Amino acid sequence: MPQRFQITRAAELESLSVFRQFISDCCASHNVPHDTVFDLKLAVDEACTNIIEHGYKGMDPGSIILSFRITPDRILVQITDFGHIFEPSEAPKPDVEAALEDRELGGLGLYLIYQTMDNIDYQSSEDGNTLTFTKYIK
């Protein structure tokens, strides 16, 4: 039976280190390989930063719910927020081929999640926005 872990914190930058520690703790109890843990932290960091900086923009920030479901061969991550609905198709696509000095700051969040995670899914409604991704354990 998969084990489920969950933590909820305010959508503020101080919460990022709490989420990283949460991921470390969850993974440590399941002997998840270090490089997988690194990827998970990176993806969660990027997704939550996006929520903090854009999802709750102009609002008194609400919650971010981070949940993990761990099975022997995969980790399912769900990140839920109640901020503005995000339209991935409208997000500017970063030019990763451009020279460093010509690149815009930021904008790599989705790209990094795409690079590091396996299946990615996003659902949004007025009842909350949920980004789900899976990381297979190799």
Partner 1 sequence: MFKRLRVKAEPAKPGLDLGEISISQLIGDVSLPVTIKALNSLPENPKLRLYRALIPIQVLAEFDINPRTWKNPDKLPQVRLDAEHGSDKVKITAWYGADPQNEFFYLELADNQYSGIDLNFLIANNPLSEKYRTDYDDEGKETLFGTVRRNLVEEQRAMQAGLAPGQIREGLRCSNIVFNHIETFLTMMAHHAFFLEPLTYVSAWIFEKRGFAYSKGHQLMDTIHKEFQPGGELHKALDGSTPFRQPDQWQTVRGRAWAIHDGILQVIDRKWDDLKMIKQIGRQAGVNTFPDAKY
Binding site for partner 1 (CB under 8 A): 6-12, 59-63, 65, 80, 82-83, 88-89, 93, 110-111, 114, 119-128
Indicate the residue among 36 and 124 with the shorter CB distance to partner 1: 124
From the CB of 92, what's the least distance to partner 1, in Å?
Answer: 11
Indicate the residue among 70 and 83 with the shorter CB distance to partner 1: 83
From the CB of 108, what's the least distance to partner 1, in Å?
Answer: 11
From the CB of 31, what's the least distance to partner 1, in Å?
Answer: 25
From the CB of 16, what's the least distance to partner 1, in Å?
Answer: 14
Q: Is 60 within 8 Å of 83 (Cβ atoms)? A: no
Indicate the residue among 93 and 138 with the shorter CB distance to partner 1: 93
Indicate the residue among 33 and 88 with the shorter CB distance to partner 1: 88
Provide the token pair at 4.
């489920």
